Amino acid sequence: MSSTDTPVRTPLEIGEVVELDVTGIAHGGVSVARHDGRVVFIADAIPGERVRARVTEAKKKSFARATTIEVLDASPDRRDHVWAEASVERDPEDRAGGAEFGHIALERQRALKAEVLTDAMRRFGGVELAVEEGDDLADALADLVEAAPGDDETGGLGYRTRVRLHVDPETGLVGPYAARSRRVIPVASLPLASEGINTIAPLDEAMPGAATVDLIDPAADDPRMLVGMPGEKQIAGASDAVRELVGDRGFLVRAGGFWQVHREAPLVLFSAVRDAIAGLIEDGRFDPAAGNLDLYGGAGLLAAAMAEAAGPGVKVSTVETEAAATDDASENLSELVGALAHTARVDRHLGELLKASAPVRDRLRRGTVVLDPPRSGAGGGVTGQIAELAPANVVYVACDPVALARDTKSLRDAGYELTELRAFDIFPHTHHFESLAVFQR
């Protein structure tokens, strides 16, 4: 074909309104459409719909972004948005962010998340997940991502025990940011948040001079509010300990520290890791006396899960950058005589272990590594260090499917086999979910 025969794409302009047929889902909570051959990532739509959308970003030679402003042909899975302030009836600039799947039936949300996971594992991890094609594909995908206890009964509402709100610097009004923006949107309620958080949320009052408002509703403590001021790194009360419950086990966690936001998520992940370790024990692959590690260990939740499966005599070292979280882990694991909590960057700690003596390296080789890295994943550097240490097993908890898939490829290239993969919908009405992958050397 000569250059004169090449189709010419009409450039899209920011603010332009176009009609789009939505064909698929992409990572990040947006759907996929095409306009004149160009990929358009579109917010607030569902695959299978036809919508009118306003262009918000235009990359002439690659892709564009748009936001739905009118649904012309609705999916049977479309619902009234769970949060009125995030509804498609609102101007896109005035929609509250943080509930980008709130217009989709819960079961379809899980199916879409499963599509994202299977696509990520195929494209970035080189793994084909065994999901059968056919009339029941949607059901199979929905089953791949497990619901948290109670969410179907509550419609996926009222689960968040930690919420950060922002303060408009001009008006002092408190609210979430607009979707994909830094503009504060006043709201009447927080439907994803727990009753305790909604009780104390300052949604109808101004807080001039403040920057952020963190709302915390611990499982075994009173709700509390932490107010952050502009330019201040330390927030008053953030270092106070609050009490959390995971089943019948208590944990102390700093009010400003990391803890899973879904009321049931700590127990869901605790149980998943415990069961994964129990499976390794049953297969004769777990050594409680080896050099077992809990990387990015936080307050010790997953190390405690390891001990629940292997017994209180298990040897395990947690590694966490935040000193306050390490202190919490020391307290929460105090009954485990073989538990140690280290404050260190994970890559630096692993670097030191790689220089350890032969007997120490042998214990690490017989050990199991549990890791729960940030959204960016462990990355090639840390996965390379883990592969060099060569533990018998790796149990990986991930909050981002693409990061998990990339790290999966690194581990598989280093000789590890992916033997188990589960996913958990502990962020209903958002595109986020958690996964657990088990690798064996």
* pLDDT greater than 60 at residue 177: yes
Joined tokens for residue 276: 């994964």
Domains and CATH numbers, the chain: 3-75 (2.40.50.140), 162-238 (no CATH)
Mean pLDDT for the stretch of residues 167-189:
95
Catalytic residue among 53, 106, 399, 426: 399
- CA–CA separation, 315 vs 311, rounded Å? 10
* pLDDT greater than 80 at residue 46: yes
State how far the alpha carbon of 293 is from the alpha carbons of 51, 132, 278, 415, in Å.
49, 36, 16, 19
At 100, the pLDDT band (50, 70, 90 cuts) reads very high
What pLDDT, in 10s, does the model give residues 153-172? 999 999 999 999 999 999 99
pLDDT at position 400 is: 97
- CA–CA separation, 317 vs 188, rounded Å? 45
pLDDT at position 137 is: 57
Higher-confidence position of 12 and 403: 403
Mean residue pLDDT across the chain: 94
Which one-letter amino acid corresponds to residue 70?
Answer: E
At 236, the pLDDT band (50, 70, 90 cuts) reads confident
Percent of the chain's residues with pLDDT above 70: 95
Residues contacting 322, CB < 8 A, separation 6+ = 257, 258, 298, 343
At 12, the pLDDT band (50, 70, 90 cuts) reads confident
What pLDDT, in 10s, does the model give residues 248-297? 999 999 999 999 999 999 999 999 999 999 999 999 999 999 999 999 99
390: buried, middle or exposed (CB in 10 Å: 19+, 13-18, 0-12)?
middle
pLDDT at position 139 is: 63
Q: Known catalytic residue: 277? A: no
* pLDDT greater than 80 at residue 11: no
* pLDDT greater than 70 at residue 7: no
* Residue 413: half-sphere exposure toward Cβ, Cα within 13 Å: 12
For residues 191 and 158, is the Cβ–Cβ distance under 8 A? yes
Task: Lowest mean pLDDT of 110-124, 144-158, 224-238, 287-301, name the range.
Answer: 224-238
Joined tokens for residue 247: 């089943």
pLDDT at position 40 is: 95
Mean pLDDT for the stretch of residues 391-404:
98
pLDDT at position 140 is: 61
* pLDDT greater than 50 at residue 135: no
Percent of the chain's residues with pLDDT above 90: 89
Asked whether the whole model's pTM tops 0.75, one would answer: yes
* pLDDT greater than 70 at residue 392: yes
At 234, the pLDDT band (50, 70, 90 cuts) reads confident
pLDDT at position 1 is: 45
* pLDDT greater than 60 at residue 4: no
Joined tokens for residue 19: 């009609």
Joined tokens for residue 96: 């509250």
What pLDDT, in 10s, does the model give residues 425-435? 999 999 999 99
Q: What is the DSSP letter of 227?
A: E
Mean pLDDT for the stretch of residues 347-368:
97
At 348, the pLDDT band (50, 70, 90 cuts) reads very high
